[in-house]
Structure 1
Amino acid sequence: MEEIINKLSPFLREVWEHLHDHPELSFEEYETTSYIESLLKKYPCSIKTFNDSTGLVVDIGSGSPVVALRADIDALWQEVDGEFKANHSCGHDAHMTIAIGVFLTLLEGGLPEKGTFRFIFQPGEEKGKGALSLVEKGIVDDVDFLYGMHLRPSEELRNGQFAPAIRHGAAKFIKGKIIGDDAHGARPHLNANAIQVGMELYQHISNIQVDPRTSHSAKLTAFHAGSKSANIIPGNATFSIDLRAQSNEVIKLLSNKIKQITAMLASYHEVNIELEVSSSVAAAVLDSDAVHLMENGIIKSVGKENLAPIITTTGGDDFHFYTIKRPDLKATMLAIGCDLKPGLHHPHMTFNHDSIPKAVEILAKVLIDTAKGMVEKR
């Protein structure tokens, strides 16, 4: 297998360069979808695309079990050197490249007699809605094991190390509106000042208390009120709230607290406060069987000395919606140590590209071992 991957490495570098140079936003990954399809349709496989969405699903092999590998395909929208544009600063270009490498490695090395290997190129991860959209399409209904991956920043994992799971936290992003009436600056008794309501909202959010044994945070991340006229007391405002927690139970508790706080403030100030969840991601639910198989794949490929413990991070990933919505699905994500600096989502993020072939080797072995192990048990 190592010889196959070494042979593929120059091609995979070209693939990464193309994907990196052509980033596309969530659910707008049209060129990305077409590019991946054009690469893989040359091989004996079944490709499924969607009329109402970007992304694609590719199967090789046949029969059961079904073992899947997911790669996210969207980029971020951010300011880079003074210009706002799509940018692959989260490593999704690497994830796609690794999945394509695994696909080619399995075909080149020969597939087991029994088993289907599914490659899920998922749109919309950055909006937290891509996994849910594919669950609704039934893409994982027949999947037994699902694997994912993510590059990790250097402070979490040193270069060359790999961890068998990423214990992501849950996140919820809420947009809100304070709806009232404006008033003359000389008559503050005639309205509720939306800025004052916002200050009280900030204070009450800061006062939320939940079990400190579970990592969590709740904070205002945007607040906009008033205009160019300094003599108008604004009655309207918009705001954003970012909620984080290491468990799905605590994120639910935080969400309920936000609803209670805004209802109380709306009643007291006699204004309307509307809330809308713009997106959310679930906390990881790890499967011991999948984690064990990933551990073995890491040891076989890079040695036990490069096996790191499970990574716990406050960041989120919509990968975990697959197991939330399909509880019988066994899943885990490979954490890839790759000297990633200065950090994820930094506009000038860089990483060591030597990690790509190693990740391909690990995941190819894990997929094959998973399928063979399930066949033997049956």
Structure 2
Amino acid sequence: MTTQPLSSELQHIFNYLHANPEKSWHEFGTTQYIASYIKAMGLEPITFNDLTGLYVDIGSGSPVVGLRTDIDALWQEVDGVLQANHSCGHDGHMTMALGALKALQTKHQPEHGTIRVLFQPAEEKGTGALAFVEKGIVDTIDYLYGVHVRPVQELKNGQHSPALYHGAARLITGVIHGVEAHGARPHLGKNAIEIGTDLAIGLRTIHIDPMIPTSIKLTSFHAGGDAANVIPGKATFSIDLRSQTNEGIDEAMAQLKTIIEGVEHKYHATIHYQIDANIAAAEVSEEAKSFMQQAIIETVGAENLAPPVVTPGGEDFHFYTLKRPQIKATMLGLGCDLQPGLHHPNMTFNTNQLQQGVEILTRTVLNTFAAIQKEVFVK
């Protein structure tokens, strides 16, 4: 396979987006830049007064085939400085979405139906897709496609996958409220460390179907101060819960709730907790996956078609199918020599592969419309 270099126009788009990252829910400049580019194409982007992001349609009526990209960057420390940083590849995702939009607009407008391209904010917060669902943006969508650059540990450069099976995740923070007391009078207190120890032991008793990869662990615990003779009455903690399926994480979450209630009852203490991030597992449509698989073969050949990727990482793209089950969806996994890994502050990847991504996404949309039209003709 020969890799096509990124066109000068797409390279310019990528360079701008890469140099101007914005953190979740603050993608104001990114939204404006994308909207201006779309207007220059002669299309009418739809923006919002109360949130960042936008979408645009080509054509009208049904069926509706959608493309979605995320537009936010991570907020992380880079060379000792906290800043927005595109270390998850969203700059590349936006570039591919704009490239596919232009290809579809200039060469492949559907005779009947709508192409809808979503530029979604706040993927890194796990809340952007839910905001778009609440706006009703995806209510009429029949097929929805996404894309994510993949690390070399999953896909080799130029190897592309027609589906990403992300796992579900719950990131939980909480506070244990015991009773502070003098170290000489432990019977008058309720030691938050002892309560937390029982909670940690309880996590190890959570068991679900062993065929569903699942993990739960304390990732932070803080209690007590400098005084060694004071029994701490308060502690804070964090829990990372992951499962490969939505059913698995629901079962694990139910068991966690029972354990917390049991610890509260045992110590007559109170444990307040909240879910800070809630990520759904992938629900991949076999039909949508087949259209993307065909597009990969048409673009780079069968020898560069990789099997679906199963990863414990999360993606809020999958809230679309969880909240609107009628949507048939899948995500393209783009093999692009991404090193050393996603979310690494100095992550890099081969931008030439973005051109292949544009072609695959464009062909996937065309394959979908062709299959729908064939089905209508047969009927």
Cα distance, 1:207 vs. partner? 2.6
- Aligned 1:82-231 pairs, distance under 5 A: 82-231=80-229
Which 10-residue stretch deviates more, 246-255 or 225-234?
Answer: 225-234
Which 10-residue stretch deviates more, 57-66 or 93-102?
Answer: 57-66
Determine the C-alpha separation between the residues in 1 that align with 2:265 and 2:285: 45
Cα distance, 1:112 vs. partner? 2.8
Corresponding residue number in structure 1 for 2:48? 50
Determine the C-alpha separation between the residues in 2 that align with 1:45 and 1:201: 55
Corresponding residue number in structure 1 for 2:307? 309
Amino acid at match of 2:263: L
Cα distance, 1:102 vs. partner? 0.5
Determine the C-alpha separation between the residues in 1 that align with 2:20 and 2:185: 55
Determine the C-alpha separation between the residues in 2 that align with 1:145 and 1:16: 26
| Cα deviation code 1:144-192 (max 9, x no counterpart) | 1100011111011100011100011111111111112221222222111
Determine the C-alpha separation between the residues in 2 that align with 1:64 and 1:264: 52
Determine the C-alpha separation between the residues in 1 that align with 2:228 and 2:16: 50
| Cα deviation code 1:190-239 (max 9, x no counterpart) | 11111121122112112322222111100111112223434322111111
| 1:60 partner SS | strand
Say whether the 8 Å CA contact 1:46–1:60 is kept in structure 2. Answer: no
Amino acid at match of 2:85: N
Determine the C-alpha separation between the residues in 1 that align with 2:48 and 2:192: 44
Match for residue 247 of structure 1 among 242, 245, 249: 245
Cα distance, 1:41 vs. partner? 1.0
Determine the C-alpha separation between the residues in 1 that align with 2:225 and 2:309: 45
Cα distance, 1:115 vs. partner? 2.3
Stretches of structure 2 that go unaligned for 5 or more consecutive residues are none
Amino acid at match of 1:331: A
Determine the C-alpha separation between the residues in 2 that align with 1:145 and 1:342: 33
Determine the C-alpha separation between the residues in 2 that align with 1:321 and 1:202: 30
Determine the C-alpha separation between the residues in 1 that align with 2:85 and 2:156: 24
Amino acid at match of 2:31: T
Q: Segments of 4+ in structure 1 off by > 6 A?
A: none
Determine the C-alpha separation between the residues in 2 that align with 1:375 and 1:138: 26
Q: Does 1:348 align with 2:346?
A: yes
| 1:104 partner SS | helix
Say whether the 8 Å CA contact 1:99–1:360 is kept in structure 2. Answer: yes
Q: Does 1:281 align with 2:291?
A: no
Say whether the 8 Å CA contact 2:24–2:124 is kept in structure 1. Answer: yes
Cα distance, 1:369 vs. partner? 2.0
Determine the C-alpha separation between the residues in 1 that align with 2:82 and 2:186: 40
Say whether the 8 Å CA contact 1:160–1:306 is kept in structure 2. Answer: yes
Cα distance, 1:28 vs. partner? 1.4
| 2:124 partner SS | helix
Corresponding residue number in structure 1 for 2:375? 377
Cα distance, 1:44 vs. partner? 2.6
| 1:357 partner SS | helix
Amino acid at match of 2:272: E
Say whether the 8 Å CA contact 2:179–2:192 is kept in structure 1. Answer: no
Say whether the 8 Å CA contact 1:49–1:56 is kept in structure 2. Answer: yes
| Cα deviation code 1:235-292 (max 9, x no counterpart) | 1111111110011111011111111111111111121001211121111111111000
Say whether the 8 Å CA contact 2:157–2:336 is kept in structure 1. Answer: yes
Say whether the 8 Å CA contact 2:218–2:240 is kept in structure 1. Answer: yes
Determine the C-alpha separation between the residues in 1 that align with 2:38 and 2:57: 10
| Cα deviation code 1:63-110 (max 9, x no counterpart) | 322110000111112121112221111111111111011111112324
Amino acid at match of 1:21: A
Amino acid at match of 1:79: E
Determine the C-alpha separation between the residues in 2 that align with 1:62 and 1:136: 21
Determine the C-alpha separation between the residues in 2 that align with 1:229 and 1:18: 53
Determine the C-alpha separation between the residues in 2 that align with 1:240 and 1:366: 41
Determine the C-alpha separation between the residues in 2 that align with 1:286 and 1:165: 7
Determine the C-alpha separation between the residues in 2 that align with 1:197 and 1:310: 43
Size of the aligned set, in residue pairs, is 374
Corresponding residue number in structure 1 for 2:292? 294
Corresponding residue number in structure 2 for 1:71? 69
TM-score of the superposed pair, with normalisation by structure 1: 0.96
Say whether the 8 Å CA contact 1:295–1:307 is kept in structure 2. Answer: yes
Match for residue 24 of structure 1 among 22, 25, 30: 22
Say whether the 8 Å CA contact 1:172–1:279 is kept in structure 2. Answer: yes
Query: How well do the aligned residues superpose, as a CA RMSD in angstroms?
Result: 1.5
| 1:46 partner SS | coil
Determine the C-alpha separation between the residues in 1 that align with 2:284 and 2:306: 16
| Cα deviation code 1:307-347 (max 9, x no counterpart) | 01111111111111111111111100000001111111111
Which 10-residue stretch deviates more, 41-50 or 338-347?
Answer: 41-50
Amino acid at match of 2:77: E
Cα distance, 1:302 vs. partner? 0.5
Amino acid at match of 1:150: H
Determine the C-alpha separation between the residues in 2 that align with 1:134 and 1:64: 19
